[in-house]
Amino acid sequence: MHPTARTASVAVALTMAAGITACGSSGGAGVAADKKQTLTVWAMGAEGEKLAEVAKVYEDANPHITVKVTPIGWDVAHQKLVSAAAAGTLPDMTQMGSSYMGEFAELGVLEPVDTKTFKKDAFFPAAWEQGVADGEVYGVPWYVETRVLYYRTDLAKKAGISKPPTSWAELQQAATAYQDKAGTQWGLHLQSSGLDAVQSFSPFLYSAGGSIVADGKATMDSPEAVKALKEYATYFDKGLSNKSFQPGYEVLTDFNSGDVPMFYSGPWTMAGINNDYPDLKGKWAIAKVPADQVSASMAGGSSLVVSKDSEHKEAAKEFLSYLTDTKGQEDWFKRSGDLPANISAWDSGELADDANFKIFREQMETAQSWPVEPQWTEISSKADEAISQVTQGKASAEDAAKKAQSAIEGLVK
C-alpha cells in the first residue's frame, strides 16, 4: 500500500544500464493473445496476494491463459527489479511504484504503452503522469492514493473549532486551539526529519504552488517552495509539532490518546482506525488539505508495466485492460480497498456514496505526482535534508532551499 517506499540505491541500477540491452531477447513478434501461454506477473505487498485471486478469475474466463503471480515484498522489490532488469529476466508484467518509474524507463527495459488502447482521460491526471518519462508513456495507472487531513472532532468541540480548517491560517489556529483549549500535547503531527520527510511536507509544498523539480529543472529554491518551508517550520518553532523524529512512529496511538489531534495520511488509515481503535467511532473525520494558493496533496499509487523483452505483450495488454477498465477497477477496490485510478470506477457504489471517499476523490483531482526522474531517490533525499535543517533550526528556509537546489541541479536528468 506504500509504493513510494525507498529500498535501495538507484545508483546500482544506473551502473548496470549499459549492459542490460544485451542481456534480454529482442522480444520479436511475440505470442498472439489468443494462443495458449503463461503470463508472469510480479506484484508487491498485499497487492501481490490479492492479484493472485483476480488472476484465477481471469483464467476461468480465458482458459488459454495461465497467469502466474509472484508476490514481492516492498522491502525487497527495488533490488529484485534491478537484478531482473540486469539479467534480462523481468516478468512479462510488473507492478511499479511511482518512485521507480523514471529509473526503469531510463534503463530501457519497459515497453511503451499503447495509448490508443489506454486513454489518458480515463485516469486521474496525477496517476497518468506517474507513468510518463521523457514524453513516453510506460505505465498504466492501477490504483491511487493521496493524503488528506485527519482530525479529532470531539476534541475540536472542546477547542471551540466548529469546522475543519480550509486555509493555512485556519490550520495553525486549529493546532493552537487544540493545545490551548483541548489540552492536547501537540497541535498537528508533521515529520520533522528523516527518510521521506518530503512526503509529510508535500501538502504544504503543493498547496503553495511549489515543486522540487518541474519541466526538467530543479525548483527547490523557488519562492513557492521557500514559502512552504517557512510555514512548515513554524509548527516546530511554536511547539505545535514534535521536533523529535522516531523511526517507525505510529501516529494512531497518539491520535487515539488525544496527544495528536490532527495529521495527514492516506485512505488506508481509515481502516486502521476502524479496526484497531473502535472507541474512536464518531470522534474523527477527514477534510481536504488546507490551502494556500490551492488545496493540493501528493499523489501516490502504482502503475502496471510490461517488459520490453516480453514474448507475451499482447496477452499482457489484454490482462492490463481487464485490470484497469471500469469493471476491473471496481472489483479491485472491493478486494483490496485500493482506490481506483480509473475515474469512471468512482461513479457508483460505495465510492460514489461514501462521504469520506468523496473527499479523497476531490483531493485526487488536484493531487500532484512526484516528477518521473531516474535519480528521484537521491533528489528527494536532498529535500529531506532541507526539511530537517529548517525544522531543527539549523538553517533558514532560504539557505536550506538554496543548498538543496544546488545539489538537486546536479541530479536532474
**Counting beta carbons within 10 angstroms of the beta carbon of residue 327, is it exposed (0 to 12), middle (13 to 18) or buried (19 or more)?**
exposed
**Of 385, 333, 9, residue with least CA distance to 201:** 385
Answer yes or no: are the C-beta atoms of 374 and 106 closer than 8 Å: yes
The rounded distance, in Å, linking the Cα atoms of 210 and 370 is 12
**Helix (H, G, I), strand (E, B), or coil: what is residue 88?**
coil
Do the domains at 10-145+300-364 and 148-296+375-409 have one common CATH topology?
Answer: yes
Give the C-alpha distances (Å, rounded to integers) separating 130 from 111, 114, 406.
Answer: 15, 16, 25
CA 283 to chain centre: 27
Answer yes or no: are the C-beta atoms of 316 and 27 closer than 8 Å: no
Residue 14: per-residue pLDDT: 40
The rounded distance, in Å, linking the Cα atoms of 6 and 4 is 6
Cell of 253: 496511538
Task: Number of helices (H) and strands (E) in the chain: give both, helices first.
Answer: 17, 14
The rounded distance, in Å, linking the Cα atoms of 220 and 169 is 23
Cell of 78: 527495488
Q: What is the CB neighbour count within 10 angstroms for residue 413?
A: 13
Residue 225 pairs in a beta bridge with: none
Give the C-alpha distances (Å, rounded to integers) separating 389 from 106, 243, 313.
Answer: 32, 11, 47
Query: Can you give the residue ranges of every domain in the chain?
Result: 10-145+300-364, 148-296+375-409
Residue 123: per-residue pLDDT: 98
Cell of 334: 472491493
Give me the average pLDDT of each 10-residue run along the chain (413 residues). Answer: 39 41 47 98 94 98 98 94 96 93 95 98 97 96 98 98 98 98 98 96 98 97 98 98 95 98 97 97 98 97 97 98 98 96 97 98 97 95 98 98 98 88
Residue 8: per-residue pLDDT: 38
**Counting beta carbons within 10 angstroms of the beta carbon of residue 391, is it exposed (0 to 12), middle (13 to 18) or buried (19 or more)?**
buried
**Of 324, 376, 374, residue with least CA distance to 4:** 376
Can you give the pTM of this predicted structure?
Answer: 0.91
Answer yes or no: CATH 3.40.190.10 is held by domain 148-296+375-409.
yes
CATH of 10-145+300-364, one of 3.90.550.40, 3.40.190.10, 3.40.50.620, 3.40.50.2000: 3.40.190.10
The rounded distance, in Å, linking the Cα atoms of 282 and 265 is 18
The rounded distance, in Å, linking the Cα atoms of 230 and 239 is 15
Residue with cell 511504484: 97
Answer yes or no: are the C-beta atoms of 126 and 137 closer than 8 Å: no
The DSSP line for 41-79 is EEEEHHHHHHHHHHHHHHHHH-TTEEEEEEEE-HHHHHH
The rounded distance, in Å, linking the Cα atoms of 76 and 92 is 19
Residue 20: per-residue pLDDT: 41
Dihedral of alpha carbons 72, 75, 78, 84, sign? negative
Q: Give the count of alpha carbons within 13 A of 392, CB side only.
A: 14
| pLDDT, tens only, 320-352 | 999 999 999 999 999 999 999 999 999 999 999
Cell of 138: 510506460
The rounded distance, in Å, linking the Cα atoms of 181 and 189 is 18
The DSSP line for 211-262 is -SEETTEE-TTSHHHHHHHHHHHHHHHTTSS-S---TT--HHHHHHHTS--E
CA 118 to chain centre: 21
